[in-house]
Amino acid sequence: PQPVYLEDYTPPAYLVDAVHLTFRLAPNTTRVLSRIEFRPNPDATSRDFFLHGEALTLISARINGAEIIPEVTPQGLSAIVPDAPFTFEAEVEINPEGNTALEGLYMSNGMYCTQCEAEGFRKITYYPDRPDVMSIFTVRIEGDTPVMLSNGNPTGSGAGWAEWHDPWPKPAYLFALVAGDLVAHPDSFSTRSGRHVDLNIWVRPGDEDKCAFGMEALKKSMAWDEEVYGREYDLDLFNIVAVDDFNMGAMENKGLNIFNSSCVLSTAETATDANFERIEAIVAHEYFHNWTGNRITCRDWFQLCLKEGLTVYRDSQFTADLRSAPVKRISDVIALRARQFREDNGPLAHPVRPESFIEINNFYTATVYEKGAELIGMLKRLVGDAAYKEALDLYFTRHDGQACTIEDWLQVFEDVTGRDLSQFKRWYSDAGTPRLHVSEEFNNGRYTLHFEQKTPPTLGQEDKQPRLIPIAVGLLSPNGDEVQPTQVLEMTEARQSFSFDGLATRPIPSILRDFSAPVILERESSNAERAFLLAHDTDPFNKWEAGRALARAGLLAMMTEGAAPDAAYLDAIARVARDDTLDPAFRALALGLPSEDDLAQALFDAGHIPDPQAIWDALETLRDTRAEALESIAQDLYSRYQVTAPYRPDPDQTGARALANAALAMLSRRDGGTRAQAQYDAADNMTQQLAAWSCLLQAGAGAAATEAFYTQWKHDRLVIDKWFTLQIVQTAPDRAAEVAETLTRHPDFTLRNPNRFRATLGALTMSPAGFHHASGRGYRLLADMLIRLDPLNPQTTARMCSAFETWRRYDPVRQGMIAAELDRILATPNLSRDTTEMVGRIRG
Ligand code: DPP
Ligand code: ZN
């Protein structure tokens, strides 16, 4: 397969003024009739007429009513066309039932549904399937299902048919159709200018009681976008549909969002606090796309971060406003480091705006999404809140209805502020995470920070120029007072120093507050200083960061020097745990430990070859020691933070449960699981039930709960996903692959459902010591399953290949085993383009 390059972009040869689609639904033989009004694009450099089309059976085609015989290839259709506006018509046949890739029109539990982003529309009919071709869609659906939905507003329906019209021009990737036996959870919303909007969440019969929370989240999102960004909804109807078989989380189709059911359905009994928070964020994310993605879309797929980075940033602001801003920031940075830093540091590193791809589905990445969002946050910090707001207003007025680029985006900031952002733009073009080294000096009341930035080479990018890095810094005096409130230093050079005058004593610096830039901070520090910052820093992120650094330093000393668990850490964390002035959710986060993957990278960076088993052992030793040292604190927290009020997934209850369950995890290492069993038996919500079962498994006392859980929940797919996952992640490393393999033979395991595949194989890859176990069994199992899944669902297969992306940091024996598995995957006949690209890049 040939790569596509950003620099090869050319405007479309023909534009589309209107498109009419008629669907005659049948599971194996759906007919799609299209009538498309084309006109030559005055800005085009070519007059070649080409329409994308894949896996379509062409029945007939016409131009201006006259039958034509176009040239058809597996990629699409070409024809000779008039040098003036013309009507193209086609009839094609497709097979939704046979579509296991879940792209285009497919079936899920008897329901017809679509997924067109990025390039799925070409599996529905012949069309210029590129985001810079925007058009008005009118859709007629004929079939025998009770509910038939498409984008926009309904314009008519009768027995066996329904018609829809979307007045807003949109690219084909935002097209959607759903048809099936569905029931609605209805509601409504009045926009601030008085538009009445009907809202529905459509589900399969039986799931009606799982929609209330998602609906509340939708209404909050609509109000928030009006209040904070001045953006109103623009149709009379907004539909959400829950679908069980879905490759991603959700999709922002205009007026008809389609959700993976795991990202919208919830009840107290079936969803955890974390699930609720994620549902709220994803409902908001997809809703926010209506302006950042739909009204203003991307010129081409290289600009994906234009809509995704901005929309992730917007949904994180929303969560920060509704819940706790510090807790959201800390959680986002944990996720960024776990997924994006890892990606940026390995063979899959790519810029936030990539310059080439073979399969665009492989670029829906942590770098495009999460690092893309960090870039928006940096921009806002650099220009200030008022200028950010002005720039966004200008973006919406200037570009409404257009397909845009990162250049357009940066231009509005340049126009509003008069700043030259060309250096900032390197954040979009250069892959890799900058290392920011700091040293300091104190003389005669003047304190100086010396910074040096360096970004390691990545594939195709050897030398990197310095980036503009906003570094938020505050200074504390040794008695714990803040002597310099947060100030944002703008670093533009490779080496640069900043001074603070008039200080009575040498201060303790708090650097990169609120994680003001996605960089790796390198600074010599002592455990005493880390403990000081954990106790005194006024910046919640850096306060948490200090505790994390203290834990990491202790764990590294255990592994490289045979040290005992660090008393300074235990003492400092005990203080935090019992400090009732701190938010319980913050304390629960502070009680977290660095991940196995984080420690593997830290060891590798320090010149060691990480041993996954030794990392797991060190973490277990520290957890056991901590459980002993903090036993009475844990008892106190566990009893004081029980929630007695009826379950609500709000920030207060969520924080209390998180802290109590962190305490339970410690106590279960001491009491063999007695309290956990009691909590399991009494639990009336999934957060408490799952936390208790997890502690029981950890304590080796989970067998009864494992059976009971299955019996209780075997009718509920989403809960059974949790049943698959937890057994694997809570198994000792030497048995994890075996447990996962056994579960792949369970009657409820299926390759057809991406959630179940992720719940099983994804869970294995989330347990590094189990996945990387010296037997190689984890590698073999994953490769076997990827080879089986690829012919059915290339997108989910390719995504999960990233489990191997860190392989170069391990020892030669493990590297040899992984290389052999990667080669075995690559040698599979007819391997998909998606998986070929991913494994090829990882293998190098
Ligand atoms: N549906 C995916 C998202 O919202 C892709 N647009 O991020
Ligand atoms: Zn998105």
For ligand 1, atom 2, the nearest C-alpha belongs to 251
> What residues contact 511, with CB distance under 8 A and at least 6 apart?
438, 449, 471, 473, 521, 523, 542
For ligand 1, atom 1, the nearest C-alpha belongs to 251
For ligand 1, atom 5, the nearest C-alpha belongs to 251
Quote the pLDDT of residue 611: 98
For ligand 1, atom 6, the nearest C-alpha belongs to 251
Average pLDDT over residues 347-365: 98
How do residues 12-39 score in pLDDT, each as one tens digit? 999 999 999 999 999 999 999 999 999 9
For ligand 1, atom 7, the nearest C-alpha belongs to 308
Residue at 686: amino acid letter: M
How do residues 234-283 score in pLDDT, each as one tens digit? 999 999 999 999 999 999 999 999 999 999 999 999 999 999 999 999 99
Average pLDDT over residues 409-433: 98
For ligand 1, atom 4, the nearest C-alpha belongs to 251
How do residues 635-693 score in pLDDT, each as one tens digit? 999 999 999 999 999 999 999 999 999 999 999 999 999 999 999 999 999 999 999 99
Alpha-helical regions (H) of 699-803:
703-713, 717-729, 733-744, 754-757, 763-765, 768-771, 777-789, 794-800
Ligand 2 centre to CA of 173 (Å) is: 13
Is the complex ipTM higher than 0.85? yes
* Atom in ligand 1 nearest the alpha carbon of residue 308: 7
Ligand 2 centre to CA of 312 (Å) is: 7
Residue at 185: amino acid letter: H
Question: Residues whose CB is under 5 A from ligand 2 (ion)?
Answer: 308, 311
How do residues 426-436 score in pLDDT, each as one tens digit? 999 999 999 99
**How far apart (Å, rounded) are the C-alpha atoms in residues 213 and 5?**
43
Average pLDDT over residues 101-121: 98
Quote the pLDDT of residue 541: 98
Average pLDDT over residues 126-151: 98
Ligand 2 centre to CA of 285 (Å) is: 6
* Atom in ligand 1 nearest the alpha carbon of residue 289: 4
CATH 3.40.50.300 assigned to domain 714-844? The reply is: no
Quick one: which ligand is closest to 311's CA?
2
Quote the pLDDT of residue 319: 99
> What residues contact 134, with CB distance under 8 A and at least 6 apart?
16, 169, 170, 171, 297, 401, 403
Residue 836, token pair as written in the block: 């070929």
**How far apart (Å, rounded) are the C-alpha atoms in residues 338 and 107?**
34
DSSP-derived letter for residue 367 is I
Quick one: which ligand is closest to 176's CA?
1
Three-class SS of residue 443?
strand
Residue 697, token pair as written in the block: 């498994």
The percent of residues above 90 in pLDDT, for the chain, comes to 100
Question: Is 286 known to be catalytic?
Answer: yes
* Atom in ligand 1 nearest the alpha carbon of residue 286: 4
Ligand 2 centre to CA of 219 (Å) is: 18
Ligand 1 centre to CA of 520 (Å) is: 28
In CATH, what is the architecture of 296-523?
Orthogonal Bundle (1.10)
Average pLDDT over residues 101-122: 98
Residue to mutate, 360, 364, 368, 369, ligand 1, most ligand atoms under 8 Å from C-beta: 364
Is 342 in contact with 282 (CB distance < 8 Å)?
Answer: no
Residue to mutate, 115, 240, 251, ligand 1, most ligand atoms under 8 Å from C-beta: 251
**How far apart (Å, rounded) are the C-alpha atoms in residues 326 and 514?**
8
CATH 2.60.40.1730 assigned to domain 4-288? The reply is: yes
Residues with CB under 6 A from ligand 1: 117, 248, 250-252, 285-286, 289, 308
**How far apart (Å, rounded) are the C-alpha atoms in residues 482 and 492?**
27
Ligand 1 centre to CA of 304 (Å) is: 10
* Atom in ligand 1 nearest the alpha carbon of residue 312: 7
Residue to mutate, 174, 257, 289, ligand 1, most ligand atoms under 8 Å from C-beta: 289
Three-class SS of residue 356?
strand
Residue to mutate, 113, 170, 248, 294, ligand 1, most ligand atoms under 8 Å from C-beta: 248
Quote the pLDDT of residue 47: 96
> What residues contact 205, with CB distance under 8 A and at least 6 apart?
181, 182, 183
End-to-end CA distance of the chain: 17
Is 781 in contact with 825 (CB distance < 8 Å)?
Answer: no
Given pLDDT bands bounded at 50, 70 and 90, which one contains residue 721? very high
Ligand 1 centre to CA of 252 (Å) is: 6
* Atom in ligand 1 nearest the alpha carbon of residue 369: 7
Quote the pLDDT of residue 757: 98
Quote the pLDDT of residue 161: 98
Quote the pLDDT of residue 17: 98
* Atom in ligand 1 nearest the alpha carbon of residue 282: 4
Ligand 1 centre to CA of 248 (Å) is: 7
How do residues 541-580 score in pLDDT, each as one tens digit? 999 999 999 999 999 999 999 999 999 999 999 999 999 9
Average pLDDT over residues 188-211: 98
Computed over every residue of the chain, the mean pLDDT equals 98
* Catalytic one of 277, 286, 370, 596: 286
Question: What are the residue boundaries of the structural domains of the chain, listed by start?
Answer: 4-288, 296-523, 714-844
Ligand 1 centre to CA of 184 (Å) is: 23
Average pLDDT over residues 457-471: 96
Residue to mutate, 113, 263, 264, 286, ligand 1, most ligand atoms under 8 Å from C-beta: 286
Given pLDDT bands bounded at 50, 70 and 90, which one contains residue 1? confident
